[in-house]
């Protein structure tokens, strides 16, 4: 692409990510890219598509008004441009110091007007069928976000807690019970408001939370999950990997998990 990564992710950002398990990167998209992505995302969310999955009640009782659509890149060429964007994948590669980055999946997350329920504290990695840790998500907001409409919070250094068990969004638990007596018990949450076109990256182990949407407009986000090239399959059931012919212990790869960036 000929783009210099340093204009988006400095060495200080890399060190912050490694230490804290998340990082904020402003203006990762240009104004023109943001406008195009908004148009594509609105089309993709509204369409009846063949490959992507729309879930209006993801998580059952906890998410009655959170609209989510997964694998939008497979049905909308405009969305593929951003879900597979080499700039974004290259930033993920730089943050993780990986030799290559593959897509796991994308998803559009619409937190609808008047959603009075926050997304509870959780880890992502517990849901992913991967042996290794190190997978991460980019969370690109299509709208300005703050505590009124669903911005995120993170617990610094919480990725050091490792993979916790029984962490579910359907039946949320007090995740902080798992870290009592450790240094993490006293870590204060960091609230991360963002301007549209900006993003956060967070490690799949990092404790994170999203506020409720108390405004009269949807909070629109494109989240894409990346994994380090060579990440292996652990055999757990997952909608992205079921029936894909993957072998336990072998790398997750193939047409649905393309290599997006390579050192």
Q: Which residues are within 8 A (CB) of 214 and not within 5 positions of it... i.e. 6 or more apart?
A: 114, 115, 116, 148, 149
**What's the CA gap between 124 and 97, in Å, rounded?**
20
51-58: list long-range contacts, CB under 8 Å, 24+ apart. 51/75, 53/239
User: What is the tens place of the pLDDT at every residue in 12-62?
Assistant: 999 999 999 999 999 999 999 999 999 999 999 988 776 666 554 444 333
Q: Is residue 224 within 8 Å of residue 92, measured between CB atoms? A: no
Would you place residue 103 in the very low, low, confident or very high pLDDT band (cuts 50, 70, 90)? very high
- Predicted TM-score (pTM) of the model is 0.91
pLDDT above 90 covers a percentage of the chain that reads 71
Q: Which two tokens stand for residue 198?
A: 């900006």
Q: Which tops the pLDDT comparison, 74 or 8?
A: 74
In the predicted structure, residue 92 carries a pLDDT above the cut 70: yes
pLDDT at 48: 79
Q: Could you tell me the domains of the chain?
A: 5-255 (2.60.120.620)
pLDDT digits (tens, 9 = 90+) for 116-133: 788 888 889 988 999 999
Tokens for 49? Answer: 């598509």
pLDDT value at residue 51 = 67
């Amino acid at each position: 692409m000929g783009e210099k990564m340093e204009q988006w992710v400095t060495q200080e950002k890399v060190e912050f990510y490694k230490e804290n398990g998340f990082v904020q990167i402003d203006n990762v998209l240009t104004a023109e890219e943001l406008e195009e992505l908004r148009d594509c995302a609105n089309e993709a969310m509204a369409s009846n598509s063949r490959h992507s999955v729309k879930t209006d009640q993801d998580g059952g009782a906890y998410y009655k008004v959170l609209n989510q659509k997964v694998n939008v890149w497979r049905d909308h060429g405009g969305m593929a441009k951003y879900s597979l964007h080499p700039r974004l994948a290259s930033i993920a590669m730089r943050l993780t110091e990986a030799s290559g980055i593959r897509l796991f999946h994308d998803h559009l997350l619409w937190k609808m007007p008047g959603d009075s329920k926050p997304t509870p504290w959780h880890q992502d990695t517990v849901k992913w069928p991967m042996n290794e840790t190190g997978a991460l998500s980019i969370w690109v907001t299509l709208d300005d976000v703050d505590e009124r409409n669903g911005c995120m919070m993170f617990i610094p250094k919480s990725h050091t807690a490792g993979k916790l068990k029984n962490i579910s969004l359907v039946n949320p638990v007090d995740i902080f019970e798992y870290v009592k007596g450790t240094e993490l018990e006293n870590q204060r949450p960091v609230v991360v408001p963002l301007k549209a076109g900006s993003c956060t990256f967070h490690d799949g182990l990092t404790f994170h939370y999203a506020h409720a949407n108390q405004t009269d407009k949807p909070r629109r986000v494109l989240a894409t999950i990346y994994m380090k090239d060579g990440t292996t399959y652990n055999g757990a059931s997952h909608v992205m990997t079921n029936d894909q012919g993957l072998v336990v212990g072998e790398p997750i790869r193939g047409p649905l998990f393309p290599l997006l960036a390579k050192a």
